Amino acid sequence: MANRKNGGKKTGAGANGQGASKNRKLSPQQLAVIVGLLTNALDVESVLLDKDQNIQIVLEGSIRRKTKADRIAAALDDVSVGDLFAALLRRQ
């Protein structure tokens, strides 16, 4: 529990509301981030640290499942459209 001094302002471990507490529950947003990271649906895009030691972590991802076509498109990312059409025409 945080110590109260200085006219009712919180001080100590719970000064910013983020102190360790046995009864603290995770919010739905926090759970979504945890699940997203554990299932590789979210990737860390960047970690920013400013001069006041504030940290921002930018996450990127999608909850849409990749289809077989998505995986094929990713594999063919470096193939030109002309080469792809030529390969499809030769296949017939």
- Closest among 20, 16, 48, 42 to 29, alpha carbons compared: 42
Cβ proximity of 42 and 33 under 8 Å: yes
Q: Are 45 and 59 in contact (CB under 8 A)?
A: yes
Boundaries of every domain in the chain = 23-91
pLDDT value of position 20: 55
Polymer length in residues for the chain: 92
Per-residue pLDDT tens over the stretch 18-66 = 555 567 899 999 999 999 899 888 999 999 999 999 999 999 988 778 8
Q: Residue 41 in contact with residue 63, Cβ under 8 Å?
A: yes
Q: What angle do CA 48, 54, 57 make, to 5 degrees?
A: 40
